Amino acid sequence: MDIRLAAVPIIVCAVLLAACSNSDRIGVAAAPAAAPVSSGPRTTAPPVSLAGRWTFSATGSSSCAMTFGATQQDSTDGTIAPGRGCPFNFFTSRRWTYTEAGLTIRDHTAQSLALLAPAGPNRFEGETDSGQEVALSR
């Protein structure tokens, strides 16, 4: 067999494979550009350092002490050590994050328990995910 004839099928296959990778073929729409991934509200420094002891209270229920940990003065996240007697399921509080949306308290599984907004010097107010009014103050 002539070497030139043996090369023809290889060349034809290479051309066909190259055409498969071209998204501008007739009848084939180009894939849309991926939408930018949103990571949620941007983190921002809280209006006051959250490190230290706070009192967590719920309307019509008890209150408890919570110790917020932060690695720096203007940290946007940290740990929570709840004291005894925290209302609802706030005894499971373990982390806090602060974003444009406000202060989020999270449990040991990283689920949001409440979102609070600044309500004056050393005070935050908001609601639990189930609608209970809560506050955090010094």
Structural domain contains residue 131: yes
Averaged pLDDT, 17-35: 49
Structural domain contains residue 106: yes
What's the CATH number where 123 sits?
2.40.128.10
> Which pLDDT belongs to residue 76?
93
Residue 116 structural domain: 52-137
CA distances from 118 to 37, 40, 95, 131 (A): 28, 19, 18, 18
Structural domain contains residue 77: yes
The tens digit of pLDDT for each residue in 88-134 reads 999 999 999 999 999 999 999 999 999 999 999 899 999 999 999 99
The total domain count for the chain is 1
Structural domain contains residue 23: no
Which residue from 53, 54, 45, 46 is spatially nearest to 118, judged by alpha carbons? 46
- Low-confidence winner among 4-13, 18-27, 95-104, 113-122 (lowest mean pLDDT): 18-27
The tens digit of pLDDT for each residue in 30-76 reads 444 444 445 567 878 899 999 999 999 999 898 999 999 998 888 99
Structural domain contains residue 11: no
> Which pLDDT belongs to residue 41?
72
pTM beyond 0.85: the answer is no
